[in-house]
Structure 1
Amino acid sequence: MRAARAAGSADPIARLVGIDFARFLAILGMMCAHLLPRPGMPGHEVWLDGLVDGNASTLFAVIGGISVVLATRRYLEVGAYAAAAWALAARGVLVILLGATLAMAPISVVIVLVYFGVAMLGTIPFLRMPVRWLLGSAALLAVLGQLVNAPLRAALDVGDEGGGLAWTEFADPLRALRGALVTGTYPVITWLVYLLVGMAVARLLLAVRHDDRAARRFLLGAGLLGLGLAVLSIVSSRLIFELWGRAAAVQAAPGLDAALIDELARLQGQGAPAAADWWWLLGAAPHTGTLLDILRGVGVALFVIALMLGFARWAPRWLLVALRPVSAAGAAPLTVYTVHVLGVILATSLVLLLGPPAFSSVPWWYLSAQILGVHLAVALVIGAVLAVLGRRGPLEALVSAVSTAAARLGSGSARRGTPPARNAQSAL
C-alpha cells in the first residue's frame, strides 16, 4: 500500500486495489476447496464446489500473471531486461523452495507453490512481448497443451505424479521436472496460459489507468468477455457431451454404467482429462487442462477481476477504508497462503495422530464451515495488522528484498542506477 500512497493517485484503477480484492477472493476460494466437506460427506455443498473448483486456483494464476508485470515493470521501463529477468527468477526460485518445503509435511491438499514458481520462471522469455503476442502464445499453449498432456500420461501410464512436489520428489529429477511441466496436478503447460493472460491484462490495465473513459470501457469489456467465455465453455462442453460424447464413451467402454460416465465427465481432474479420447478433450471439467476448461477459468478470472476493479473504482472511500484488512490480506498472498497451509498441516497431523477409530465422523477442525471461518478470520487479522502498520507481508518483503538483490547482482543494475521494482503488488 505504501507504493500506492507514494504514487499519490486517488484513482483505484491506478493503484489496482481491486486486484488485491480479487486475489483475496481467489485465496478464499482455495480455502473453501481445502476446508469444506468433500462429496459424500455431511455438509457438502454441490453448488459451492461448482463455484470454486477449478476457478479459485485459475483466478489466482491469472492474477499471478498480473503481478509478474507489476513486479518487473520498473526495470523494463528503463530498459533493464536483465534486471527484470533476474528479479523474477529469484522470486520463482523462492516460491519453489517454500513450496517444496511445505509439501514435505503431511497434508490433505496439493501445494501449488512449486508449480507456480516454475510457471513464473516460464514467463521470463515473455516479459517484453506485446499484448497480442502474449495472447497468441497463450492460445497456442492452450490448444497444444491438451494434445500433449493426456496422451503423454497415457503413454507413461500415469494419471498424476508429483503431487505437491516435495523435496523427496527431486530424488528423481526427470520425473519431478516432467511432473512440474506436464504430468503433475497443476502442470505448467496449462498454468503458463493463465499467467500469460494475466500479463496481457496487466499491460492493458496500465495502458488505461490514467484515462477514465478508456478504463470504464476496458472494465466493461473485460467483464462481459469473461462472462461470455465462461458461459460458452460450460454450455458448449455440456452440449457436446449430451449430443455425442456420452454415446461415444458408452460405445468405447460398454462395461461402464452411463451414470458413472456422467459423473466422470463432471469430476475434476488431476491436471488432465480422464483420457485422451476426443469426448474428454472437449469437456470443461475443472483441473483437466482442456481448451474449454481453460476458457472457463480465464472467463471467470476476467469477470472477477473486472468486477473487483470496478468495485474499487466506484465504491465510496469509507467502504474501501473499512475493507483495508481484506485488500491488505490480498496484497500478502504468500504469507496468507502459507499460514493457511500450516493450519491444514496441523489439522492433518492431528487426524493422523488420532487415527480413524478416534472419531466417528470428520471433526469440525478438519473439514467444516467452522474451520473455514477460523482460517478466514486469521487471514483478516493478518490483513488488519499489515494495514495498520502500513507494511507488506513478511514473506512478500523477503521475496522483494531477495529479488532486488538478485537483480543487482546478476545484471549490475545498481551501478547503472536502475531503481528497485517496488510496488504494492506481490508476484504471487
Structure 2
Amino acid sequence: MTSRSTAASSKTSKGPAAGTRLAGIDAARGLALLGMMATHLLPTFESDANLTPTWIGLTFSGRAAALFAVLAGIGLALSTGKQRPLEGSALTAARRGIALRALVIAVVGLALGGLEVNVAVILVHYAVLFLCILPFIGLRLKALCAWAAGWIVGSPVLAFLLRPWLMAADPPLQLNHNPGWEDLSTPGQLLGDLFLTGYYPVFQWISYLLVGLIIGRLSLSAAGLPLLLLTAGGAVAAFAKVLGTAAMESWGGRAALQEILSDPNYPLDSILQVNLAGVRQEGSWWWLAASAPHSGTTLDLLHTSGVAVAVVGLCLLVGRLGEWLDLDLLLPLRGAGAMTLTLYTVHVWVVASFHLQPLPAGWTEDGMYFAHAALAVLIGMAFLLLKKRGPLEWLGHAANQVGRHEPDRVR
C-alpha cells in the first residue's frame, strides 16, 4: 500500500540491479495483497463444531498483513537514502513527506471505516505506523538492529501489562469495529484501540517496520543477499514456530490457557493455529509463549517477520532469475504490488457491497476470490505497462512531494 515506484516498471538509468531490486519489492507487495484478499474472502476455519483451520487460515492468517508492514519499512528505507540514511534538512523534509502521505492513507482508512464490512481494515493503523516510525528513519543499521531486537522482545510484555488496564476502563478502550470518522470524537478509545487493543496493535507492529528499515538499509543489489534473506528469514520463522508449539503442547502452555479460556466459541487448539485476535490475552503469562497469528507476542513477531523476510528474498531471487532469462517473471505480481492502496481500497468497497447479501447466482467464495485476484493482477499490469500510478498512489505521491518541498532560502 505504498506509492508506486516508477523504477519498478523497467530497467532505469541506474542499471539492472536497481530495477530488479524494486521489482522484487513490488512483487512481494502483490503477494501480500493477494494473501490479505484470501483471508477476507475465503474461510479461515471450517464450519464444523471444532472450527478446524483451513489451508487459507494456516497459510495466510497473520502473515500477509505482517508482510505489508515489513514492506512499508523497506519502502521507507529505499525512499530515505537506502544504505546511507538522509541527514539534516533532507531528513526533516523526508519526514514531512512521509507524514503527509500517512495523512492520505488515514483519510482513506477512516472513509472505509464507515462501511459495513466483515474485514479488519488496516489502513488507519498503517498510517499511524508511518508516523510512529519517523524518529527511526535517520538511524543507521546497527542502531536499527538494536531497536528492532528490543522492540520485538519488550513491546509484547508491556502490551500484556497495559491491555487489562485499558480494558478495565468504562467504557473499555476498544472499538470492536474499524476506525471511522465518528471515532475521532472519542480520542482515548480510538488511540487505545489503535495502539494496544485492536486487531493490528500499532505498539507491537512497530517491530515490523523496524525490520523493514533494516532490510531496506542493506545493499539489496548484492549478489548473495536475496538467498541470505530467504534462508535466514525461513530459519527464524521456523525456530519461532517450533518454540511456540513446544511451549503450548509440551511444556504445559495450552493446558494452562485452556483453564482460562472456557468460551466454546473459541476452541483454543484452532485459534492458536490461525488467529488469536479477539481473545483477551490476560490472566496468565503463558499467553506470551504463544506463536499464534495476531497474538502480538515475541514469537509471533519473530515468526511473521521471518516469513516476510523470506518472501522478500524469494521475490528478489525470482527477479534475478527473470533477468538472467530475459523474462519479466514478476510482472503479474509487481503490477498489483505497485498500486496496492488503490486495489485494496476498491477490494474492501466491493466486499462491503456484498455484506450480509447472498452471492450472485452461480458464484462461490472461491470464484469471488479469484475474480478479485485476477482483476487486481490485470489492472495492476495495465497501469504498470502504461507507466501510470494508481489514483490513490498518485495522491500519496503528491502529498509526499508537497511535504518534501523546501522553499529556496533567502540569502
2:334 is aligned to 327
1:339 is aligned to 346
The separation in 2 between residues aligned to 1:272 and 1:319, in whole angstroms, is 49
Q: Relative to 1, partners in 2 of residues 1:416 and 1:337: Cα closer, same or farther, differing over 3 Å? A: farther
2:392 is aligned to 395
Contact preservation (8 Å) 2:94, 2:403: no
2:131 is aligned to 121
Q: Confirm whether residue 386 of structure 1 aligns to residue 386 of structure 2.
A: no
Of 299, 302, 307, which residue of structure 2 is paired with 1:300? 307
**Matched position secondary structure for 1:163:** coil
Of 76, 88, 106, which residue of structure 1 is paired with 2:86? 76
2:187 is aligned to 173
The percent identity for this pair of structures is 32
Q: Confirm whether residue 36 of structure 1 aligns to residue 42 of structure 2.
A: yes
Of 95, 98, 110, which residue of structure 1 is paired with 2:108? 98
Q: Relative to 1, partners in 2 of residues 1:187 and 1:122: Cα closer, same or farther, differing over 3 Å? A: same
Q: Relative to 1, partners in 2 of residues 1:366 and 1:120: Cα closer, same or farther, differing over 3 Å? A: farther
1:107 is aligned to 117
The separation in 2 between residues aligned to 1:384 and 1:260, in whole angstroms, is 42
The separation in 1 between residues aligned to 2:396 and 2:192, in whole angstroms, is 26
Q: Confirm whether residue 135 of structure 1 aligns to residue 142 of structure 2.
A: no
The separation in 2 between residues aligned to 1:255 and 1:342, in whole angstroms, is 36
**Matched position secondary structure for 2:79:** helix
Q: Relative to 1, partners in 2 of residues 1:312 and 1:346: Cα closer, same or farther, differing over 3 Å? A: same
Q: Any gaps of 5 or more consecutive residues in structure 1?
A: 210-214, 418-428
The separation in 2 between residues aligned to 1:277 and 1:310, in whole angstroms, is 43
**Matched position secondary structure for 2:354:** helix
Q: Which residues of 2 match residues 348-387 of structure 1 at below 5 A?
A: 348=355, 351=356, 354=357, 368-387=365-384
Tell me by how many angstroms 1:267 deviates.
Answer: 4.8
**Equivalenced residues, count:** 394
Q: Relative to 1, partners in 2 of residues 1:274 and 1:400: Cα closer, same or farther, differing over 3 Å? A: same
Tell me by how many angstroms 1:70 deviates.
Answer: 2.3
Tell me by how many angstroms 1:385 deviates.
Answer: 1.8
Contact preservation (8 Å) 2:341, 2:392: yes
2:298 is aligned to 291
Moved more, 264-273 or 21-30: 264-273
| Partner amino acid, structure 2, of 1:161 | L
Q: Relative to 1, partners in 2 of residues 1:276 and 1:253: Cα closer, same or farther, differing over 3 Å? A: closer
The separation in 1 between residues aligned to 2:208 and 2:173, in whole angstroms, is 22
Contact preservation (8 Å) 2:293, 2:300: yes
Tell me by how many angstroms 1:93 deviates.
Answer: 1.1
Moved more, 161-170 or 10-19: 10-19
Of 49, 65, 68, which residue of structure 1 is paired with 2:57? 49
Tell me by how many angstroms 1:260 deviates.
Answer: 3.9
Tell me by how many angstroms 1:153 deviates.
Answer: 2.4
The separation in 2 between residues aligned to 1:375 and 1:44, in whole angstroms, is 25
Judging by fraction of residues, say which structure has more helix.
Answer: 1
The separation in 2 between residues aligned to 1:379 and 1:122, in whole angstroms, is 30
Contact preservation (8 Å) 1:347, 1:366: no
Moved more, 241-250 or 318-327: 318-327
The separation in 1 between residues aligned to 2:62 and 2:190, in whole angstroms, is 23
Of 11, 21, 25, which residue of structure 1 is paired with 2:17? 11
Contact preservation (8 Å) 2:36, 2:65: yes
Q: Confirm whether residue 216 of structure 1 aligns to residue 219 of structure 2.
A: no
Q: Relative to 1, partners in 2 of residues 1:137 and 1:407: Cα closer, same or farther, differing over 3 Å? A: same
The separation in 1 between residues aligned to 2:52 and 2:368, in whole angstroms, is 14
Tell me by how many angstroms 1:3 deviates.
Answer: 3.3
Contact preservation (8 Å) 1:104, 1:166: yes
Tell me by how many angstroms 1:164 deviates.
Answer: 2.1
Tell me by how many angstroms 1:151 deviates.
Answer: 3.0
Moved more, 67-76 or 275-284: 67-76
TM-score w.r.t. the length of structure 2 is: 0.87
Q: Which residues of 2 match residues 234-313 of structure 1 at below 5 A?
A: 234-242=241-249, 243-249=251-257, 252-253=259-260, 260-270=267-277, 274-313=281-320
Contact preservation (8 Å) 1:267, 1:286: yes
TM-score w.r.t. the length of structure 1 is: 0.84
Tell me by how many angstroms 1:11 deviates.
Answer: 2.2
Q: Any gaps of 5 or more consecutive residues in structure 2?
A: none
Q: Relative to 1, partners in 2 of residues 1:249 and 1:191: Cα closer, same or farther, differing over 3 Å? A: closer
1:420 is aligned to none
| Partner amino acid, structure 1, of 2:214 | A
1:423 is aligned to none
The separation in 2 between residues aligned to 1:282 and 1:51, in whole angstroms, is 21
Moved more, 98-107 or 4-13: 4-13
